[in-house]
């Protein structure tokens, strides 16, 4: 099956980027939000990002207009999914919100439609069980900022079938992304490897081994990381890092994933990184 139309549910940080890359690759998008103002915000972010691409001469004005023109806003999940081949859900990382969305999608999407979630930490197998078609359910884990980052972790749940995997792999390539298959496990591969490194960097700061700047310097200059782990943690959001570490800790029942006390304290203090203006660095 060729994916000819997609629904993207949620137009926040990830959803607007996902809608952007589908529309730019020529696949029309039904962008589903809860309120017109949120949809407008998503569209204006997409337009801003497309303008930047025009300025850099990566695309021309016609391509920009065609991309924007192929995104249609819906404020009702059932309406937005009824004529699509693939659904990509990017609503907040909250199991109750996701359950309510997936129950509506399952009731309204065509029988052949593939259901994909961009969750970064909830079990794909568990989300799949909220629908009557777990064999057509899969994780499509994009990375922020979506128009720039090449990777899509394609996460197979316990019952995801081979055909679903193949279609999602092919579709990801059409988006000019590199799909990497992984099986469903807490944190998949990306967060299972990344988060313990960030956590250990925070332990180093908390124990006074080095300052945040110096930990980042070591990882940038010594390991060729383009961004140090603490700068990256600020960018991701310290609350998100803590949530994912807790998922790993609960999922594996292994103390190696216990969150660093300094991380917990910073989240308690509301110092969440870029989004609050302060984390390991200041963002004025
Ligand atoms: N932010 C990241 O770096 C990142 C990276 C990879 C994966 N993810 C995952 O992507 C998902 C979305 O994260 P985000 O950072 O884009 O969140 P976000 O809060 O920026 O955006 C979520 C959007 O969903 C909308 N929404 C809420 N309920 C809805 C509903 N019932 N129907 C339609 N829209 C609804 C909200 O209005 C909001 O615009 C989460 O599962 C998260 O774990 C996030």
Instruction: Specify whether 170 is located in the same domain as 211.
Output: no
Return the ∠ at Cα 118 (arms to 81 and 179), rounded to 5°.
105
Q: Confidence band (pLDDT; 50, 70, 90) for 5?
A: very high
Q: Is 168 in the pocket of ligand 1 (CB under 6 A)?
A: no
Distance 91 CA to ligand 1 centre (A): 4
In order, the DSSP letters of 33-49 are -SSHHHHHHHHHHHHHH
Atom nearest to 35 CA in ligand 1: 37
Instruction: Specify whether 37 is located in the same domain as 177.
Output: yes
Task: Copy the structure tokens of residue 212.
Answer: 């945040």
The residues annotated as belonging to the active site are 120, 141, 153, 191
Q: What is the pLDDT of residues 191-206, one digit of tens each?
A: 999 999 999 999 999 9
Q: Is 153 in the pocket of ligand 1 (CB under 6 A)?
A: no
Give dist(CA 28, CA 260) in Å, integer. 44
**DSSP3 helix / strand / coil % (the chain, rounded to 5):** 50, 15, 35
pLDDT of residue 281 exceeding 90? yes
Domain of 158: which CATH number?
3.40.50.720
Output the pLDDT for position 52: 96
Instruction: Specify whether 162 is located in the same domain as 261.
Output: no
Atom nearest to 98 CA in ligand 1: 31
Instruction: Specify whether 203 is located in the same domain as 174.
Output: no
pLDDT of residue 39 exceeding 90? yes
Q: Residue 240 is part of which domain span?
A: 191-275
In order, the DSSP letters of 199-252 are HHHHHHHHTTSS-HHHHHHHHHHHH--SS-HHHHHHHH-HHHHHHHHHHHHHHH
Q: What is the pLDDT of residues 49-71, one digit of tens each?
A: 999 999 999 999 999 999 999 99
User: Mean of the pLDDT values across residues 41-45?
Assistant: 98
pLDDT of residue 207 exceeding 90? yes
Give dist(CA 271, CA 90) in Å, integer. 25
Instruction: Specify whether 146 is located in the same domain as 219.
Output: no
Atom nearest to 15 CA in ligand 1: 16
Give counts: helices (H), strands (E), the chain.
12, 8
Q: Are the C-beta atoms of 107 and 27 separated by less than 8 Å?
A: no
DSSP assignment letter at 152:
E
Three-state SS for 198?
helix
Cα distance from N-terminal residue to C-terminal residue, the chain: 49
Q: Is residue 176 part of a domain?
A: yes
The percent of residues above 90 in pLDDT, for the chain, comes to: 98
Q: What is the pLDDT of residues 153-170, one digit of tens each?
A: 999 999 999 999 999 999
Instruction: Specify whether 209 is located in the same domain as 268.
Output: yes
Give dist(CA 40, CA 269) in Å, integer. 32
Instruction: Specify whether 29 is located in the same domain as 132.
Output: yes
pLDDT of residue 284 exceeding 90? no
Distance 209 CA to ligand 1 centre (A): 36
Q: What is the pLDDT of residues 70-104, one digit of tens each?
A: 999 999 999 999 999 999 999 998 999 999 999 99
Cis peptide, bond prior to residue 145, ω within 30 of zero: yes
Task: Copy the structure tokens of residue 64.
Answer: 């920009």
Query: What's CA 131's distance to the chain center, in Å?
Result: 21
The whole-chain average pLDDT of the chain stands at 97
Q: Is 39 in the pocket of ligand 1 (CB under 6 A)?
A: no
| pTM to 2 decimal places | 0.94
pLDDT of residue 283 exceeding 90? yes
Q: Is 246 in the pocket of ligand 1 (CB under 6 A)?
A: no
pLDDT of residue 123 exceeding 90? yes
Alpha helices in 114-211 (DSSP H): 124-128, 162-174, 190-206
Distance 143 CA to ligand 1 centre (A): 12
From 183, 203, 228, give the residue that closes a domain: 183
Q: What is the pLDDT of residues 211-255, one digit of tens each?
A: 999 999 999 999 999 999 999 999 999 999 999 999 999 999 999
Helix (H) or strand (E) holding 54: helix 36-55
Q: Is residue 113 part of a domain?
A: yes
Instruction: Specify whether 22 is located in the same domain as 99.
Output: yes
pLDDT of residue 42 exceeding 90? yes
Instruction: Specify whether 44 is located in the same domain as 127.
Output: yes
Instruction: Specify whether 99 is located in the same domain as 210.
Output: no
Q: Is residue 44 part of a domain?
A: yes
From 122, 154, 183, give the residue that closes a domain: 183
Number of domains the chain contains: 2
Q: Is 37 in the pocket of ligand 1 (CB under 6 A)?
A: no
Q: Is residue 283 part of a domain?
A: no
Atom nearest to 142 CA in ligand 1: 6
Instruction: Specify whether 149 is located in the same domain as 208.
Output: no
pLDDT of residue 125 exceeding 90? yes
What are the CA-CA distances from residue 160 to residues 81, 133, 140, 201 (Å)? 20, 9, 12, 36
Q: Is residue 282 part of a domain?
A: no
DSSP assignment letter at 131:
S
Instruction: Specify whether 151 is located in the same domain as 266.
Output: no
Domain of 218: which CATH number?
1.10.1040.10
């Amino acid at each position: 099956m060729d994916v000819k139309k997609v629904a993207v549910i949620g137009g926040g940080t990830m959803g607007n980027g996902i809608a952007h890359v589908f529309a730019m690759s020529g696949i029309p998008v039904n962008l589903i939000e809860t309120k017109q103002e949120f949809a407008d915000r998503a569209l204006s972010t997409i337009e801003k990002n497309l303008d930047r691409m025009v300025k850099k001469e990566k695309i021309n004005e016609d391509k920009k207009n065609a991309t924007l023109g192929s995104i249609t806003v819906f404020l009702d999940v059932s309406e937005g999914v009824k004529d699509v081949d693939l659904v990509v859900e990017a609503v907040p990382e909250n199991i109750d919100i996701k359950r309510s969305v997936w129950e509506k999608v399952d009731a309204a999407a065509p029988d052949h439609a593939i259901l994909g979630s961009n969750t970064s930490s909830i079990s794909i197998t568990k989300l799949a069980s909220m629908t009557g078609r777990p064999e057509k359910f899969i994780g499509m884990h994009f990375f922020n900022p979506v128009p720039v980052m090449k990777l899509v972790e394609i996460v197979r749940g316990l019952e995801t079938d081979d055909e679903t995997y193949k279609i999602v792999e092919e579709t990801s390539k059409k988006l000019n992304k590199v799909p990497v298959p992984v099986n469903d496990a807490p944190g998949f591969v990306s967060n299972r490897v990344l988060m313990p490194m960030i956590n250990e960097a925070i332990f180093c700061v908390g124990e006074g081994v080095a300052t945040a700047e110096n930990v980042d310097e070591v990882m940038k200059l010594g390991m060729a990381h383009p961004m140090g782990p603490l700068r990256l943690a600020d960018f991701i959001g310290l609350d998100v890092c803590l949530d994912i570490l807790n998922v790993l800790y609960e999922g594996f029942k292994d103390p190696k994933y216990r969150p660093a006390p300094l991380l917990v304290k910073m989240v308690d203090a509301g110092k969440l990184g870029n989004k609050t203006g302060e984390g390991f660095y200041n963002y004025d």
